[in-house]
Amino acid sequence: MHIVSIIFIVCGTFFLLTGTIGLLRFPDFYTRMHATGKCDTLGSLLILAGLALYHGLSLGSAKIIIIAIFIFLTSPTATHSIARAALRNKIPLWKKEKNK
């Protein structure tokens, strides 16, 4: 079971790293929000699931699962709200520049 939990934690770390690279590399606010919103949610869930598996069946792992459910419900909602507020405040979309 420890091997499975380590695999979950490593995969979660990979997704968090991928989201960070997307945040640094993507051209505009909306694509950055998409990369970080998706990758951070999945990365956090995988890491918390790995920690719950590593901890075993106990009260501590139940608390970790409750935190994971909370993140699963709130993170996409918060990302959507922030992106919608940006759209309402007319933050411009990225337009591909043509070669001159």
Give the C-alpha separation, 92 to 89, whole Å.
Answer: 9
Is pLDDT above 80 for 100? no
Query: Are the C-beta atoms of 50 and 7 separated by less than 8 Å?
Result: yes
Name residue, tokens 């411009």.
92
Could you tell me the residue ranges of all domains in the chain?
2-88
pLDDT tens-digit readout, 6-28: 999 999 999 999 999 999 999 88
| pLDDT value at residue 92 | 84
51: left (phi over 0), alpha (psi -120 to 50) or beta: alpha
pLDDT at 98 over 80: no
Nearest to 27 by CA among 100, 93, 98, 99: 93
Q: What is the pLDDT of residues 25-78, one digit of tens each?
A: 998 899 999 999 999 999 999 999 999 999 988 999 999 999 999 999 999 999
The amino acid present at 41, given as its one-letter code, is T
Band of residue 99 on the pLDDT scale cut at 50, 70, 90? low
Backbone angles phi, psi at 90, to 5 degrees: 60, 45
